[in-house]
């Protein structure tokens, strides 16, 4: 999944500009609860500059908030049951450097903080914005498009 911003028309052709930051989620469609229910999150730096991203409320910091919106096969929300971190201001240690053209990622076990049982589920990333810093200066808050994915637990 990646977010894109519409660009300008150029010589009667349509151009899409790549956002500076995008992400990809991957979850295996069929998973066994006894093995854990894993989702892979990768954050990509699409720019030619090194960027730092605030990891708060993203999969990069692990489960300290409801990172995902999950619904069961009856369209009922599956509540987050993990820690919720209260914070003041972010420090330099709260940012993840992503080199130009590079990426960072993590693998998380959803069953550690969501009560999942056998059945079909829909999932999407809860956080849709990312705070990005370039050259020690706030660059932007990037919007990420969030698609809904499905998986089955047995």
pLDDT of residue 1: 40
Residue 9: inside a domain, yes or no? no
pLDDT under 50: residue ranges of the chain? 1-13, 15
Residue 8: inside a domain, yes or no? no
pLDDT of residue 94: 93
| Number of domains the chain contains | 1
Percentage, residues of the chain above pLDDT 90: 63
Q: Contact 40/70 with Cβ under 8 angstroms?
A: no
Q: What is the pLDDT of residues 126-151, one digit of tens each?
A: 877 888 888 777 766 766 667 899 99
**CATH code assigned at 142:** 2.60.40.2970
Domain extent, residue 53, equals 20-153
């Amino acid at each position: 999944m990646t977010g894109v911003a519409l660009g300008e028309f150029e010589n009667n052709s349509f151009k899409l500009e790549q956002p500076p930051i995008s992400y990809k989620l991957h979850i295996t469609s069929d998973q066994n609860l006894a093995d854990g229910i894993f989702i892979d999150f990768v954050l990509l730096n699409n720019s030619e500059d090194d960027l730092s991203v605030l990891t708060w409320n993203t999969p990069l910091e692990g489960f300290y908030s409801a990172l995902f919106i999950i619904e069961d096969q009856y369209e009922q929300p599956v509540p987050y049951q993990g820690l919720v971190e209260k914070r003041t201001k972010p420090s330099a240690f709260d940012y993840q450097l992503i080199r130009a053209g590079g990426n960072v990622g993590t693998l998380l076990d959803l069953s550690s903080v969501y009560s999942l049982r056998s059945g079909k589920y829909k999932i999407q990333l809860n956080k849709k914005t990312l705070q990005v810093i370039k050259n020690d200066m706030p660059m932007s808050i990037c919007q990420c498009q969030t698609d809904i994915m499905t998986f089955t637990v047995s």
